[in-house]
Structure 1
């Protein structure tokens, strides 16, 4: 048994209380706020991976207790915990479609928001791996009339391009509030050359424009639509049967979840919903676990390419947080890495945490807006790892 330090125990307790409180008072349209002191995460080796073992059943009850608290506080979504290729815990809470009284299930795909970037980035690296493009070549080599000659494909992947967010500059040059396409954004950039926020490759700044352009590069290089490439080379080969790219010319399937504000008010769409690459991939926790596991078996990317993807790229600010090529990461002083990506778009909040050295994964997909979702993975991690702590959170339910 693991002896839990008092500081970690108190941190877990505090986080559960804070998550419950945050969920109950969420502001509509609030951006994810991660300003709370983080719970420490790191290596995890489980001796109780057998879900039928008495020890795991105790932990599963504690996770159920935690998620009953989250449900009462307003959480609507799905969660999956996997270890070395096996699903240890899976939970569905709330509704896919509240109006039709359709409960959320394993068949209901959720808008991944920025977690979609893991697919866009990996697709670019696949093309690089197979020598269809070179990430160190200028973007202008692949996108006609791209007006920034110094920006390379790599600088889009690691958010060091200096480009402004299209959500900010498009309204300056376009009065229509209808969906805008990737091609139209690129035409606006070619015509007006929006001012860069900083000199290319001098610092990191997360920017959705980068991944819009990457999706368009995929289309130019492959002569396929982004949707068709993803289906043919990723989703179908990996058995991701409930995963798809949403584009403006399509109607969402009935199995897709509705994106909700507080009180189950559907989120209205806006012009940015026509753009893909930065977002607009829908998936389920089970399909995302298939995506996660594909990297361990090299079904899509080689180990050499994965090392490239997982390499931190920005060092202007000290700390453990960094960004690689399509992935956020926590790089600890002892060399341990957690590879992850969160997402937020309309009412969709997503977390995809990968403890790659231990093949341990936490996935949370929510379709009813709540910043508190981003605090769930550290608590789930601690409830699983620190077996002495979990008993403190049993609400009495068997």
Structure 2
């Protein structure tokens, strides 16, 4: 056999092996997702996996709209819930980079009448160590859930509640802290939170299908949200998005979330020093380290460090996992809060990590 024929045979064999490997990987991911999103006549979800910034898996399952019998596609727009906190945290760091604030500042510097605001810092808010009352746990939340609330009104709603612990004493996931951050962003930047995110993040990162959530504005390719009841599915509970505000009111697509991850990787939004602050672990007053940076949980998958965060808001759930050492990003969205993508997304990341290490 000539050298040319040997080379051709080798390349064909290489292509065949790679193609077979890709098909095996795809089938593994499909079967994993179908364990939770297998009924194609129910609300569904969208999943995407990237490696080195390139999409290697991208599929949708189920229905985007039950009334219209519309199938889900990977292009559909979902509410991302608490994944919003990533954007709020990065916005704070952008303002610090511009010299407009410092994460070590007490919040009394910006909100003069905040109780014990001289002891609570922006850092405490970012890391869920402030001790302030989480408004989502307040029994009176239903009285404002459908009202249009200005950021100051939202802060006033919970600021006089007794604190749960002294600042820095413990880590306790807290939505109120991120609402206060959103209010500070508006005070410092002179822009609404929505405008700042749109102009300084969405537009810079090329996220043309991401929005501050609304039930009034027409959103192209919007996935509708659902709850499951004993008698079947119902449309999601209607709330005012001014209530979750900067703790959970953004919408996006799987493709736009990859652009977000790429913008962070390429320092399009933050310099290296500020980016590092988001992704490092911090310590409590006792010296004990906890596994949360600024807007991300810092965990690991089989010993390999990752950055992850989920979200849950009426009718929707979301989850994102990023493995820095391998540049693997996995994102999962669901348009029913009865289907959680959290464990599925983590397991996809686990399988993907195993496949690249073979």
Q: TM-score range by the shorter chain?
A: 0.7 to 0.9
Alpha-carbon RMSD across the aligned residues, in angstroms, is 3.1
Matches within 5 A, 1:1-20: none
Between the aligned partners of 1:333 and 1:319, the Cα distance in structure 2 is: 23
* Match of residue 260, structure 1, among 220, 226, 237: 226
Between the aligned partners of 2:305 and 2:344, the Cα distance in structure 1 is: 19
Match of 2:338 in 1: 370
Deviation at 1:234, TM superposition (A): 0.5
Q: Which structure's relative contact order is higher, taking Cα pairs within 8 Å and 6+ residues apart?
A: 1
Match of 1:224 in 2: 191
Match of 1:129 in 2: 97
Match of 1:103 in 2: 71
1:205 aligns with 2:205: no
Matches within 5 A, 1:89-238: 89-149=57-117, 150-169=119-138, 171=140, 175=143, 178-181=146-149, 182-189=151-158, 193-238=160-205
Contact 2:328 2:349 in 1 (8 A): no
Q: Secondary structure at the match of 1:81?
A: strand
Shift of the 302–205 alpha-carbon distance from structure 1 to 2, 3 Å rule, reads same
Deviations 1:99-127 (A, max 9, x none): 12222223321110111100011100111
Between the aligned partners of 2:16 and 2:60, the Cα distance in structure 1 is: 21
Q: Secondary structure at the match of 1:53?
A: helix
Deviates more, 1:297-306 or 1:309-318: 309-318
Compute the TM-score of the two structures, normalised by the length of structure 2. Answer: 0.85
Between the aligned partners of 2:163 and 2:45, the Cα distance in structure 1 is: 37
Match of 2:293 in 1: 324
Deviation at 1:170, TM superposition (A): 7.2
Shift of the 202–385 alpha-carbon distance from structure 1 to 2, 3 Å rule, reads closer
Q: Structure 1 regions of 5+ residues with no counterpart?
A: 1-47, 391-398
Larger radius of gyration: 2
Between the aligned partners of 1:365 and 1:307, the Cα distance in structure 2 is: 27
Between the aligned partners of 1:151 and 1:247, the Cα distance in structure 2 is: 32
Matches within 5 A, 1:295-310: 295-310=264-279
Between the aligned partners of 1:266 and 1:93, the Cα distance in structure 2 is: 18
Shift of the 167–384 alpha-carbon distance from structure 1 to 2, 3 Å rule, reads closer
* Match of residue 46, structure 2, among 78, 92, 106: 78
Contact 1:113 1:278 in 2 (8 A): yes
Shift of the 197–90 alpha-carbon distance from structure 1 to 2, 3 Å rule, reads same
Contact 1:75 1:370 in 2 (8 A): no
Between the aligned partners of 1:50 and 1:219, the Cα distance in structure 2 is: 55
Deviations 1:21-64 (A, max 9, x none): xxxxxxxxxxxxxxxxxxxxxxxxxxx99997332122112222
Matches within 5 A, 1:60-79: 60-72=26-38, 76-79=44-47
Between the aligned partners of 2:195 and 2:17, the Cα distance in structure 1 is: 38
Q: Secondary structure at the match of 2:55?
A: strand
Shift of the 247–161 alpha-carbon distance from structure 1 to 2, 3 Å rule, reads farther
Deviations 1:211-254 (A, max 9, x none): 11111111111110111101100001111011011258x53525
**Aligned residue-pair number:** 337
Match of 1:294 in 2: 263
Q: Structure 2 regions of 5+ residues with no counterpart?
A: 1-13
Compute the TM-score of the two structures, normalised by the length of structure 1. Answer: 0.77
Between the aligned partners of 1:198 and 1:319, the Cα distance in structure 2 is: 16
Contact 1:242 1:284 in 2 (8 A): yes
Contact 2:75 2:254 in 1 (8 A): no
Deviations 1:331-388 (A, max 9, x none): 5897x42111111112211111010122111100111123542110232134334459
Between the aligned partners of 1:319 and 1:363, the Cα distance in structure 2 is: 30
Contact 2:321 2:346 in 1 (8 A): no
